[in-house]
Chains A and B, each alone.
Chain A
Amino acid sequence: MDAVGVILGFSSYEGLVFGLVAIGVYLTLRVLAFPDLTVDGSYTLGGATSAVLIVKGFNPLVGIIAALVAGLCAGIITAVLNTKLRLPALLAGILMMVGLYSVNLRIMGGANVSLLREPTIFDQAGGLLGIGSNTIGLSIIVALLIVVIVLLILNWFLRTELGLGLRATGDNEEMVRGLGSDTNKNLILGVSIANGLVALAGSVVAQAQGFADVGMGIGMVVMGLASVIIGETLFNPRGVAGLLLAGISGAFIYRLIITIALRLGLAPGDLKLITALLVIAAMAVPYIKKKIRHEWIPPAERW
C-alpha cells in the first residue's frame, strides 16, 4: 500500500473507534449539556476490564460487553454525584476520573495487561471472514461494524419518547420537570450510556493494540471534544442523525490530521499541543467568520 493509502486506512480505523468516544462526548456535552470528564477514566476502565477477562479465559465478546457495563456503571456514579449529591458536573467528572485511575490499577493488578498471545475480537472476526487478523482492513471492518450498530441504535433511541426526554433535559430542565419527566433520571441514563460507549471504545482499542494500559485514557475527553467541535464546524449538522455523523466524521478528520502530523516527523509528545491548537482553531473559525460578517455573537459559556 502506498503512503496515502496507509494514512487513510489508519485514520479510518482510528476515526471509527475514537468516533465512539466522540459520540460519548457529544451525548453528554451537546445532548445533555453535562460537561463530563469521567471519559478519561471510563475509557481505560473499558480496556482494563475486557483485557483482564480475556486473560482469565473469557470470550473477547464477553470482555466487550463487560467493558460496556463497567462504563455504564461509571457514568451512573458520575451522574448520581451530580444529581443526588449536588456536586457540580465538572467536579463530579474530575473526581471520577481520578478515582477510576486507582480502580483501573486494581482491576489490572498493575500498570498494564498484555493481550499478545490472547484471542481478541479481531482474531474472531478474522477467522469468520478468512482474513489475517493483523490487517488494517480487518480492523476497519470490525470498527465499522461496531460503529454502525451503535449509530443505528442511538439514532433510533434519541427519537423515542424516552430519548426525546434526554434531549429536552439538555435544553430546558425547568420545562422537562414541569411536563412530568424526571430530569435526574434522564441525566443518569444519558451520562451512563455515554460512558458505556467510551468504555466500549477502550475495550476495542485494547484488543487492537494488544494491551491495556493505565494511561491509555489520558486525553480522551479533549480528543472527543476536538472531534465533536471539528465535526460541527465543518459540517454544520442539523438533527439527530446529522450530529451523530458529524461526530464520527470529526473524529476521522482529527485522526487524519494527527496521523499526517506524525508522518511529517512531529514527535508523539507534540500531539497534545496539536490537539489543543485544533480545538482552538475549530472554535475560533466560526467566531471569526461571524465577526467578519458583523453578526451578533453570544458570549462564551463559562463552564
Chain B
Amino acid sequence: MGKNASLLQVRGITKIFSKGTVDEVTALDDVSLDVNAEDYITIIGSNGAGKTTLLNVIAGIFPPEEGEVLINGDDITKLPEHRRARYFGRVHQDPKIGTGAKLTIEENLAFALLRGQRRGLKAAINEQRRELFRSTLAPLGLGLESRLDAFVGTLSSGQRQSIALTMATISNPTLLLLDEHVANLDPRTAQIVFDLTEMIVQREKLTTMMITHNMECALKYGNRLIMMHRGKIIVDIGQEDKQKLAINDLINAFEQAAGEKLVDEAILLSRCEL
C-alpha cells in the first residue's frame, strides 16, 4: 500500500466501445482523477458524457483500453469485477440491478454482508445477523425491519432501492458509487432514499462518488464537484470554491472549459427537488 497515495487513483483511462467499427465511441478520453478519503464527489454532465462508464471502469465491469485504476496505491486495473467488489458499494439507477427479487430481504442483506469475504459452509443467516439487519433497517423508517422474510420482488421500487442502498453500505465499502440512484423514483420516495444516503454517508464518513443529472443538486450536496463532457473531466471544483458557486458560475465554467454552449436542458433547467 503506497503511503501517501490517494484512496482512489484513476490514471489516463481511455475507454473505447466497438473499436474499429462504424459505431466506435470514445466514452472516456484519457481521464485522470484522484479521490481522497472522505471526498463526497458529485458528478454531473450531459447524456453520454461518460459518467456511468467511469464508474463501470472503476468497478471493473469492463477493462479500459488504456490507463490504470489504483485503490490505496494497489493496481486493480486487471482484477475482474467480483475480485475488487470488496472495495466498492454501488447503487444503480434501477433498483432491480442491485437486489435479488427472488430472495428475501434478509437473504439479500446476508449476501451483501459478505461482500469481498470468503463464502463458506456456515449458515448464511443466524439470529445475530438478523439482529444486525433489523437494527440497520430500523432507522430507515420504512418498517422493513419487521418484514425480513418478504421477497424483495414484492417491494415497491423505493423500498427496493433502500434495500439496495443498505446492501451497498452494510459492509463499509472503501468507496461508495452512486449512479443517479434516485432518478427513477417518484419525488417523495426519491427524497426518502436521498435523505437515507446523506445520513449513511455522513454517519459512516463514506468516500462517495455520486452521479446526478441536476446542477443544483450537484452544487448543494457533497464537498467536491466534477463535470464531464465528451469523455473528459472538464471541471473539478473543491469544497471552498463550490460553496461560493451559483449555477450561472458553473455554466460559465463549463462553457469556458468545453469551448461550447451548454445545451442540455435537463441539467440546466430542472430544479433540485432534493
Number of A-B residue pairs having CB atoms within 8 Å of each other in the complex: 86
Identify which of A170, A174, A179, A183 contacts B112 (C-beta below 8 A).
Answer: A179
Q: Would you give the shortest CB distance from B181 to chain A, in whole angstroms?
A: 13
Q: Does A167 contact B (CB under 8 A)?
A: yes
* Most A CB within 10 A of own CB, among B85, B96, B116, B119: B119
Asked whether, in the complex, the Cβ of A162 is within 8 Å of the Cβ of B119, the reply is yes
Instruction: Bin the interface of chain A by size.
Output: 20 to 34
Q: A171-B100, A180-B116, A182-B82 are in contact. Are A160 and B121 (CB under 8 A)?
A: yes
Q: Which of A162, A174, A178 gathers the greatest number of chain B CB atoms within 10 Å?
A: A178
A178:B90 contact, CB within 8 angstroms: yes
Given contacts A175-B100, A177-B85, is CB(A164)–CB(B107) below 8 Å? yes
Residues of B within 8 Å of A164, CB to CB, are 103, 107, 110-111, 119, 124
Interface of chain A residues 46 through 72 with chain B (CB within 8 A): none
Over the window 114-139 of chain B, the binary record of Cβ atoms lying under 8 Å from chain A Cβ atoms (1 yes, 0 no) is 11110111111100000000000000
Closest to A180 in B: B85
Q: A168 in the interface, Cβ–Cβ < 8 Å?
A: yes
Q: Chain A contacts of B236 at CB under 8 A?
A: none
Known A177-B85, A180-B82; judge A161-B100 contact (CB<8 A). no
Across the interface, which residues of A come within 8 angstroms of B111, CB to CB? 164-165, 168, 176, 179, 181
Contacts of B122 in A (CB 8 A): 160-161
A167 contacts which chain B residues (CB < 8 A)? Answer: 100, 102-103, 107
User: Quick check: B99 and A159 within 8 Å, CB to CB?
Assistant: no
By a CB distance below 8 angstroms, the chain A residues around B112 are 179
DSSP class of A's interface residues: helix, strand, loop or mixed? Answer: helix
Q: With A160-B123, A164-B111 in contact, is A177–B100 under 8 Å at CB?
A: no
Contact A175 B121 (CB under 8 A): no
> Are A183 and B119 in contact, with the CB atoms below 8 A?
no
B83, B98, B119: the one contacting A165 at CB < 8 Å is B119
A172 CB-CB contact with B under 8 Å = yes
Set B81, B96, B120: member contacting A161, Cβ < 8 A: B120
A185, closest chain B residue (CB): B82
From A163, A174, A180, B97 is in contact (CB under 8 Å) with: A174
The smallest C-beta distance from B119 to any residue of chain A, in angstroms, reads: 4
Once A178-B98, A179-B112, A179-B115 are accepted as A-B contacts, the answer to whether A160 and B124 lie under 8 Å apart by CB is: yes
Q: A residues 141-199 with Cβ under 8 Å of B?
A: 157, 159-165, 167-168, 170-172, 174-183
Report the nearest A residue to B118, measured CB to CB: A161
Question: How close is A172's CB to chain B, nearest CB, in angstroms?
Answer: 5
CB contacts (< 8 Å) of A170 on chain B: these are 102
Name the B residues within 8 Å of A177 (CB-CB): 81-82, 85
5 pairs of A and B residues whose beta carbons are closest in the complex? A180-B85, A161-B119, A171-B100, A164-B124, A180-B116
B contacts, CB < 8 Å to A: 59, 80-83, 85-86, 88, 90, 96-103, 107, 110-112, 114-117, 119-125, 167
Between A and B, 15 residue pairs with Cβ closer than 8 Å are A160-B122, A161-B120, A161-B121, A162-B120, A164-B119, A164-B124, A167-B107, A168-B107, A171-B100, A171-B101, A171-B103, A172-B99, A177-B85, A180-B83, A180-B117
